[in-house]
């Protein structure tokens, strides 16, 4: 098993994630690309002391970026997890 801090990297704080948290009780995290749903569930339950109902993941592709006249580069690919909670709440400012 991986270390829980290696699985869950940081919360994904966007307008969509805030809306999902307020209306449906779904929190969104950036997670390790090689982490699976079982590892993500265990890490969130241990880290935040909540009960997870379901985990959905999506692989996000990096964007093409340019800096001035230099050739285009890319940002890294990353993975996002939508976590529906059955019990408890996560307050990012207190926990992280």
Query: 83-92, pLDDT tens digit by residue?
Result: 999 988 887 7
Determine, yes or no, domain membership for 39: yes
Tell me which residue has tokens 């090689």: 34
Q: What band does 93 get if pLDDT is binned at 50, 70 and 90? A: low
Within a domain: 93: no
Whether residue 18 lies inside any domain: the answer is yes
pTM for this model (two decimals): 0.86
Which DSSP category does 14 fall into?
S
The answer to the question of residue 96 being in a domain is no
Q: Within a domain: residue 95?
A: no
60 vs 3: which has the higher pLDDT? 60
Give a yes or no: residue 83 inside a domain. yes
H or E segment to which residue 87 belongs = strand 78-87
What CATH number corresponds to the domain at position 60? 3.30.70.330
Q: What is the mean pLDDT of the chain?
A: 90
With bands split at pLDDT 50, 70 and 90, how would you rate the model's confidence at 94? low
69-88 mean pLDDT: 91
Residue 82 lies in a domain: yes
Owning domain of residue 78: 4-88
- pLDDT number for residue 31: 97
* CA neighbours closer than 13 Å in the CB half-sphere of residue 83: 30
**Counted domains in the chain:** 1
- pLDDT per residue over 29-71, tens digit each? 999 999 999 999 999 999 999 999 999 999 999 999 988 888 8
66 domain residue, yes or no: yes
């Amino acid at each position: 098993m991986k270390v829980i801090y290696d699985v869950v990297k940081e919360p994904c704080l966007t307008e969509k994630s805030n809306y999902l948290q307020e209306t449906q009780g779904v929190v969104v995290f950036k997670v390790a690309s090689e982490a699976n749903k079982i590892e993500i569930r265990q890490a969130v339950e241990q880290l935040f002391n909540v009960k997870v109902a379901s985990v959905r993941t999506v692989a996000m592709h990096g964007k093409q970026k340019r800096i001035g006249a230099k050739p285009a580069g890319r940002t890294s690919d990353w993975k996002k997890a939508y976590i529906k909670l059955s019990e408890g709440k996560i307050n990012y400012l207190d926990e992280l």
